[in-house]
């Protein structure tokens, strides 16, 4: 579904991406991990058209989308969330999710102006579907209220519901566990599995190693814009290059042991 080949991106002298390659197949969660500044979000931005790579290719279901605009890439079934939720703050919870349906809802300007039967049918369908996705992400409570009044963890769920309402074939989630408490993380783990079971390809950026190791079919480790490991979680967490990437070559044994623990993920062994 997604194939990234030899991706390169520079900002002035900074090489954010330096020959990155990875793939994500339908029904699979592929996690991108790596130290701060390793290039994970830059990779997402290149895949979704927010950045134009300076080299390499991005293929979505075999179509070369390198350098295309975000809207053109979204139209191919690519949907994403951001490190901090980017919602329409002055819209209701429901309307935020309904906005996701406009990608596939077939309405023209005359339908909207004249409120034709087709328009009304479409609006009903959009509302029903938005409710279904809010149920799916487990958002209880008032859906007519403004989204900005929700707690942070719930805003994240709304953003995921909106991304799902676009009916994506490829979903990119940028640090969905950031700022969540323990209980919310457990619910997110369950949600990620259910999203995978829908059959989409999921690419995940996440710093919570326990979550990553538990939910991913494959883990790609980035360091300085390059992939330094790519494989099933079990193999990646034993890879010495991965441990080193988190601390650097000069780390002493105690630090390395602590890093090994972190990469291994609490309670997953
Ligand atoms: N818009 C930009 N302008 C200049 N430099 C940028 C820009 N975006 C990213 N960079 C640089 O590119 C490198 C990779 O950043 P990126 O945000 O992709 O890393 P990351 O792995 O997602 O980090 P984090 O885990 O902290 O989110 C960093 O050195 C960063 O400072």
Task: For 53-106, write each residue's pLDDT tens digit.
Answer: 999 999 999 999 999 999 999 999 999 999 888 999 999 999 999 998 877 666
Expressed in angstroms and rounded, the spacing between residue 95 Cα and the centre of ligand 1 is 32
Same-domain check for residues 7 and 65:
yes
37 lines ligand 1 (CB under 6 A): yes
Compute the distance between CA of residue 148 and CA of residue 154 in angstroms, rounded to an integer: 10
pLDDT at residue 84 in the model: 83
Does the interface ipTM go beyond 0.90? yes
Same-domain check for residues 104 and 213:
no
Task: Determine, yes or no, domain membership for 269.
Answer: no
Helix, strand, or coil (residue 116): coil
Q: How many domains would you assign to the chain?
A: 2
Q: Which of 32, 38, 43, 177 to mutate to test the pocket of ligand 1 (most atoms within 8 A of CB)?
A: 38
Task: Determine, yes or no, domain membership for 150.
Answer: yes
Contacts of 213 (CB under 8 A, 6+ apart): 219, 233, 237, 264, 265, 268
Task: Assign 176 a pLDDT band (cuts: 50, 70, 90).
Answer: very high
Q: Which of 18, 41, 176, 227 to mutate to test the pocket of ligand 1 (most atoms within 8 A of CB)?
A: 41
Same-domain check for residues 16 and 61:
yes
34 lines ligand 1 (CB under 6 A): yes
Task: For 100-147, write each residue's pLDDT tens digit.
Answer: 887 766 666 677 667 777 777 878 889 999 999 999 999 988 899 999
CATH number at residue 221: 3.40.50.300
pLDDT at residue 187 in the model: 94
41 lines ligand 1 (CB under 6 A): yes
Q: Are 267 and 254 contacting, i.e. CB atoms less than 8 angstroms apart?
A: no
pLDDT at residue 122 in the model: 76
Task: Assign 268 a pLDDT band (cuts: 50, 70, 90).
Answer: very low
Task: Determine, yes or no, domain membership for 131.
Answer: yes
Q: Is the pLDDT of residue 185 over 60?
A: yes
Mean pLDDT of the chain: 89
Q: Whose CA is nearest to atom 13 of ligand 1?
A: 16
Task: Determine, yes or no, domain membership for 251.
Answer: no
Task: Determine, yes or no, domain membership for 268.
Answer: no
**Domain span holding position 158:** 88-167
Same-domain check for residues 105 and 227:
no
């Amino acid at each position: 579904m997604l194939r990234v080949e030899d991706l390169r991106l520079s900002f002035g002298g900074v090489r954010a991406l330096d020959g990155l390659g990875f793939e994500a197949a339908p029904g699979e969660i592929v996690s991108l991990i790596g130290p701060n500044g390793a290039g994970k979000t830059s990779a997402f931005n290149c895949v979704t058209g927010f950045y134009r790579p300076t080299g390499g290719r991005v293929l979505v279901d075999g179509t070369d989308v390198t350098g295309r605009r975000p809207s053109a890439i979204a139209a191919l079934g690519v949907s994403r969330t951001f490190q901090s939720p980017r919602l329409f703050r002055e819209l209701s919870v429901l309307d935020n999710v309904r906005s996701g349906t406009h990608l596939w809802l077939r309405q023209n300007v005359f339908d909207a102006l004249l409120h034709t039967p087709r328009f009304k049918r479409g609006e009903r369908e959009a509302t029903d579907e938005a409710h279904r996705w809010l149920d799916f992400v487990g958002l209880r409570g008032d859906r007519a209220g403004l989204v900005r009044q929700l707690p942070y963890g719930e805003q994240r769920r709304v953003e995921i519901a909106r991304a799902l309402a676009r009916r994506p074939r490829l979903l990119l989630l940028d640090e969905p566990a950031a700022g969540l408490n323990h209980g919310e993380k457990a619910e997110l783990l369950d949600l990620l599995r259910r999203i995978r079971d829908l059959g989409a390809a999921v690419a995940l950026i996440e710093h919570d190693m326990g979550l990553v190791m538990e939910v991913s079919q494959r883990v790609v480790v980035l360091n300085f814009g390059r992939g330094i490991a790519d494989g099933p979680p079990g193999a990646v967490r034993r890879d010495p290059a991965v441990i080193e990437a988190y601390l650097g070559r000069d780390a002493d044994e105690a630090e390395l042991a602590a890093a090994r623990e972190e990469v291994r993920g609490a309670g997953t062994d």
